[in-house]
Amino acid sequence: MTEPYTPTEIMTVAAARALRNEDVCFVGIGAPSAACNLARLTHAPGITLIYESGTIDTRPEVLPLSIGDGELCETALTTVSVPEMFRYWLQGGRVTVGFLGGAQIDRFANLNTTVVGAYDNPKVRLPGGGGAPEIAVHCGEIFITMAMSRRGFVAKLPFVTSLGHGTGKGSREALGVSTKGPTRLITDLCVLEPDQETSEMSVVSLHPGVTRDQLRENCGWDLRFVAVPEETPPPTEEELGVLRELHDRTRRAHGGEDA
Active site residues: 52
Nearest of 229, 144, 132, 138 to residue 182 by alpha carbon:
144
Cβ neighbours, 10 Å, residue 88? 12
CA distance 189 to 135: 25
